[in-house]
Amino acid sequence: MQAFCDWLSNTPISLTIQTVLWIIPAVQTVHILCIAIVMSSMAMLDLRLIGLAGRRQTIPYMVNRFVPWVWWTLPVMLLSGAILIIGEPGRELLNPYFRAKMLMLATVVVITFFVQRLSDKSAYWDTRKGLAILAGSVSLLLWMGIVTAGRWIAYY
Amino acid sequence: MIPHFLVWLQSLPFALDIRRSTWLFPTIETIHVLFIVIVVGSVSMFDLRLLNIASRDRAVTDLYEEIIPWTWASFACAAVAGFLLFSSDAVKYYHNIPFRMKMLLLLLVGLNTAFFQFRIYPRAGSWTAGARIPFAAKFAATFSLVFWIAIVACGRWIGFTK
């Protein structure tokens, strides 16, 4: 992995990202704005699953309203993240916080996918309040963990 | 007079603790970021409604009551965290250009918010699903979106110029 990082950080594209001063801050800003979209959407959905907010709307309604924003925004985050990794490979790829972040992201994406699928049956959650609370809580904790791990990459 | 106050502020015990600790600053900063993303995300949801881009099936007042309390609560928490971060190195941040820009932009967004709250929103009762939304509201929504994006950018920029 170290050898791969060394090779990558010497490619022309990586050197460009490293040396043109505004690229990394600008791409990080895009990444943060995407986080705002994803976090707010998922916070609203998760709080609904837990039952703390938005109870005037059904869970399937909230799923259909918010989950699409995540699916559309994630590719942008993957792209911006890829640019940051290409620019500074070792900073992410050799960092345990980054790996934890990716693990949590993969987990929460799977959970979100299943929550969306199960919500296709309109009355699914009516008799499964406990499952909804569990799914919402785990999802919310994972998203917060992802943001935290993401910030701590810089401090490793 | 201001630099005097800032030297005093950054010498207070809590500020020194943050400055000297290896983990306090990153932790408070993480909390700051978590609350900011809720502020920006929730404001954007409401602004996109005013621009008739999202949640068009909901009345504006319903959305306001559902979202805006979270925005205010998160903003307050983000501001407290921000103040703690600022205190840990007050003089340096005071002279930091992106920081000053961020504060100016926050002030302007605050004025826009007040203008919306007291001049525009009182008429929002009729903005149900499908209703036409006045230009003033759309202008305030666009202003809000653009300025919040700029605030986030300046915030990130601080970290690169400190």
CA of B55, closest CA in chain A: separation in Å?
8
Mapping DSSP onto H, E and C, the string for chain A reads CHHHHHHHCCCHHHHHHHHCCCHHHHHHHHHHHHHHHHHHHHHHHHHHHHCCCCCCCCHHHHHHHHHHHHHHHHHHHHHHHHHHHHHCHHHHHCCHHHHHHHHHHHHHHHHHHHHHHHCCCCCHHHHCHHHHHHHHHHHHHHHHHHHHHHHHHHHC
pLDDT < 70 stretches in chain A: none
Alpha-carbon distance of B70 to B49, in angstroms, equals: 16
| Nearest CA among A67, A51, A43, A44 for reference residue A134 | A51
B44/A36 CB distance under 8 A: yes
Q: What is the per-residue pLDDT across B23-52, written as a single tens digit (0 to 9) for each?
A: 999 999 999 999 999 999 999 999 999 999
Q: What is the pLDDT of residue A53?
A: 87
Q: What is the pLDDT of residue B37?
A: 94
CA of B109, closest CA in chain A: separation in Å?
17
Q: Does A22 touch chain B (CB under 8 A)?
A: no
How many CB atoms are located within 10 Å of the residue A46 CB?
28
Q: Does A30 touch chain B (CB under 8 A)?
A: no
CB-based contacts of A5, cutoff 8 Å, min separation 6: A89, A90, A93, A94
Alpha-carbon distance of B18 to B93, in angstroms, equals: 15
Chain A residues lying within 8 Å of B38, measured CB to CB: 36, 39-40, 43
Count of structural domains, chain A: 1
pLDDT < 70 stretches in chain B: 162
Q: What is the pLDDT of residue B162?
A: 67
Q: How far is CA A3 from CA A45, A85, B5, B89, B115, in A?
A: 42, 15, 51, 38, 56
Chain B residues lying within 8 Å of A148, measured CB to CB: 30, 34
Q: What is the pLDDT of residue A54?
A: 84
Chain B residues lying within 8 Å of A41, measured CB to CB: 41
Alpha-carbon distance of B109 to B80, in angstroms, equals: 18
CB-based contacts of B53, cutoff 8 Å, min separation 6: none
Domain range for A102 is 2-155
Q: Looking up tokens 């970021």, which residue turns up?
A: B33
Chain A residues lying within 8 Å of B36, measured CB to CB: 36
Q: What is the ipTM metric for this complex?
A: 0.86
